[in-house]
Homo-oligomer: A and B are copies of this chain.
Amino acid sequence: MDRYRIKPGHKVRLDRFDPADTSAFDGDKARGQKRLLKLSEKLADLQELLWAGQRHRLLIVLQGMDTAGKDGTIRHVFGYVNPQGCRVANFKVPTLTELAHDYLWRVHQQVPGAGELVIFNRSHYEDVLVVRVHGLVPPAVWKKRYDHINAFEKLLADTGTTVLKFFLHISKEEQRQRLQERLDDKQKNWKFNVGDLAERKLWSKYVEAYQDALSKTSTPWAPWIVVPSDHKWYRNLVIAHHVTRALRKLNMAFPPAAPDLENVVVR
């Protein structure tokens, strides 16, 4: 699973990552789903420790093209986690008040507090992705942002936050099929957004923007993981693996009792 983690300084070319890859798991979809169930239970246990300890913090960043599976990841990987201590932050088109501040202002407000697991469904990376592709600010402005972002994430890491960033990597053909399904399946109609078709035409510009972002902001303190996401079961497995491993590394235990409680009897 380590092969998907981008080494700091590595120049990423997305065509070298197969979106349909399933090679880090020795088994098929059915076995993969069983394994995910086990990992989900483990993840729920670890999150209980995280919340009980009120000490460490975990930030998960999810990025990817439209239909890459950000929502599905939240539902399937984090579906068993206790809502207490787990929070999802969505970053949509900024409000007027948000635009009146620097672009990390609204993001900083949403970072996890003690014991929290927070999932960013899209994130500050949109400020070097959609903003760049649509030319919402000049290159001189967005080019400075990689350094800002690295410094911001360093602050989070230095003050006790584990940061994991997942790029959900799908092929252009896979996106076509998923968009078509949203049109054809009445239950999925509401997910279809006409704007998605216009964004799809900018696919290669997005690839370029993602490659730069992944290359410039995969740091020792906040690594990017490129997740092959054409197969949803495999995507879930890769993410669950990295999240549980990061939590295990914290070596958490239930907090000790307050002192002098040994002989207390409740009346």
- A34 contacts partner chain B, Cβ-Cβ < 8 Å: no
| Complex interface: stretch among A79-87, A146-154, A238-246 | A79-87
CB contacts (< 8 Å) of A75 on chain B: these are 82, 84
- Of A128-136, A188-196, A213-221, A226-234, the segment with at least 4 beta carbons within 8 Å of chain B is A188-196
Are A74's CB and B79's CB within 8 A? no
Most chain B Cβ neighbours within 10 Å, of A75, A186, A190, A197: A190
Q: State A257–B85 Cα separation when bound (angstroms).
A: 34
Tell me if B74 and A189 are in contact (CB < 8 A).
Answer: no
In the complex, the answer to whether B189 meets A257 with C-beta atoms within 8 Å is yes
Query: Which of A10-18, A24-32, A157-165, A175-183 contacts its partner?
Result: A175-183
Q: State whether the Cβ of A94 lies closer than 8 Å to any Cβ in chain B.
A: no
A82: B residues at CB distance < 8 A:
74-75, 79
> Is A265 part of the contact surface with B, judged by Cβ < 8 Å?
yes
Number of interface residues of A (CB under 8 A): 41
> Which B residues are in CB contact (< 8 Å) with A176?
266-267
Which residues of B lie under 8 Å from residue A88 when comparing CB positions?
A: 83-85
Contact: B83 with A81, CB < 8 Å? yes
Task: Establish whether residues A84 and B121, one from each chain, have CB atoms under 8 Å apart when the complex forms.
Answer: yes
**Contact of B183 with A264 in the complex, beta carbons under 8 Å:** yes
Q: Which of B52, B190, B265 contacts A254 (CB 8 A)?
A: B190
Pairs of residues from A and B, 6 with the lowest C-beta to C-beta distance, nearest first: A189-B257, A190-B255, A179-B266, A180-B266, A74-B84, A84-B88
